[in-house]
Amino acid sequence: MEKGISIPKTLPPSLRTKGRYIVFEIVSEMRLSYSDFSAAMWNSLLDFIGELGASEARCWLIKNLYDEKAQRGVIKCSHDKVEHVRAALALLHTIGDTRATVRILGVTGTIKSAQNKYLGMKDLRSFGE
C-alpha cells in the first residue's frame, strides 16, 4: 500500500454531479476583490435560498478565473440550481462598501467553453482556424 494520505478515487463520469459554469461581470463604482465578491455572493445565496438550498447548489467561485481588472469571473454550480444562483446574484446590490450589480454573461457546460466564449481566452486549436 502507498504511504502518505490516501484520497478517494475520482468518480466515473456517470456518478459525478453535473455542473454548470456561470460567467458574470460586476458593474460597480469601484473595483472589487475576489474576497469581497465571494463574501457578498455567499451572503446573498444564504439569505435567498438558505443553507439547505446553498448546499444543493454546490456553488464555487473559481479563484484563478476571477479577473479583478475586467471584473469578470466564473461560478461553478449544480446544473439544476442555475436559476437559483442567477436570482441570488440579481439580489446583490451592495458589495463591501460600494453599490454594485452583477450581470450574467452566459452559462456553459465546461470551463473551456466559458473561457473561449466569454473570457477571451483562446486554446491552441483556434490558431489553426
Partner 1 sequence: MTFYDLHTNTNDTIGEDSIEDMISVAKKMALSGLGVVRFDKVSKKLHSDEIDIVDCVMIRAEIVDEVNRLIQRFRNDADVIMVYGGNYDINRAACENSMVDILCHPELGRNDSGLDHICARAAHENNVAIEINFREILELSRRHRASVLGYLRRNIMLCSKFDTKMVLVSSSISKWDLRTGRELAAVANLLGMDLGKAIECASTVPENIVKTNREKLAGKKYDGASLVEE
Residues in the site for partner 1, rule: CB under 8 A?
27, 47, 83-84, 86-87, 89-91, 93, 99-101, 103-104
Side chain identity, residue 76: K
Of the pair 55, 98, the CB lying nearest partner 1 is at 98
Closest to partner 1 by CB, 29 vs 63, is: 29
Cα–Cα distances in angstroms (integers) from residue 86 to residues 24, 31, 103, in the given order? 10, 21, 9
d(CA 109, CA 113): 7
- Using the minimum distance from each CB to partner 1, give the nearer residue, 91 or 121: 91
Instruction: Provide the minimum distance between the beta carbon of 68 and partner 1 in the complex, in angstroms, as a whole number.
Output: 18
Instruction: For the CB of residue 24, give the shortest distance to partner 1 in the complex, in Å.
Output: 10
CB of 80 to partner 1, least distance (A): 12
Q: How far is the CB of 120 from partner 1 (least distance, A)?
A: 17
Q: Which residues of 5-23 are buried (b: 16+ CB within 10 A; e: fewer)?
A: eeeeeeeeeeeeeeebbbb
Give the number of other Cβ atoms within 10 Å of residue 41's Cβ: 21
C-alpha to C-alpha distance for 82 and 29, rounded to whole angstroms? 27
